[in-house]
Structures are given as structure tokens and as C-alpha cells.
Amino acid sequence: MINTALTRRRADNPHEETWQIYFTDVRNGAIGVRAGVPVHADQWEWSLGFYPGMDPGTGRRGIATTFEAAREAFENAWSELQLSIPDNAFAEWHRDRDWRAAVAAKRARGEKLS
């Protein structure tokens, strides 16, 4: 992969601070405030990976004291991990997304699934 640009979007839930991370149009991770941890514990967590496309268990995750530290750790992990992601991983994710959209459209029209 040559393009390493990541974008982030705030999650819709107003009750939590979570950012969804995207590589092109594939959601490849998240950074958010941890729920239910003591105030003296690291408050932020991050996770990296997407399925289908990546094998289960090949993603990465971690915790951090601040959003900035979580973002930096995420970006470092992404820089390392993307070198091992097969070229067809994103195409596999897109095929699955398109198939799910087609199934949803058939259901919305009341058609039987074949």
C-alpha cells in the first residue's frame, strides 16, 4: 500500500467519545474513551483491524492516557500492520459490503433471497 492517509469521524452516540478511523472508505479501527475504568487508569483505548479482509486475530489494540497518545499508537500500529495486509484485503471487504447492500435491497423490495 502506498497511500497511508487515515481519516477519523466522530461516532454518532452522544453519550460516548469515540472516533471511527477510516482508510479510504474502509473502517479499519476506532479510538475511544474506555467505559467503567477507575479514574487513575488509562482512559483511552484503540483498536485496529477490519473483517473480512484481515484474518481474525491479526488486528492490534492498546490503551493510552490521552487521545493524542492513543492516536499516535494507532498510527504507528497502522504503519507496521499495513505492510502485511494482502493487496486483495480491501477488495474482499468491498465485495462483502456490496453483497450485504444487495441483500438488504432485495429484502426492502420484498424479494426472496436466492
Q: How far apart are CA 28 and CA 14, in angstroms?
A: 21
What cell does 22 get? 477510516
pLDDT for the residue 13: 87
- pLDDT, the chain, mean: 91
pTM: 0.82
DSSP line for 65-109:
SSHHHHHHHHHHHHHHHGGGS-TTHHHHHHHHHHHHHHHHHHHHH
What is the tens place of the pLDDT at every residue in 26-81? 999 999 999 999 999 999 999 999 999 898 889 999 999 999 999 999 999 999 99
Peptide bond before residue 56 is cis, with ω within 30 degrees of 0: no
pLDDT for the residue 1: 43
| Beta pairing, strands 26-33 & 60-64 | unpaired
Please choose, from the candidates 3, 31, 30, 17, the residue with its C-alpha nearest in 3D space to the C-alpha of residue 90. Answer: 3
Half-sphere exposure of 7 (CA within 13 A, CB side): 6
pLDDT for the residue 15: 86
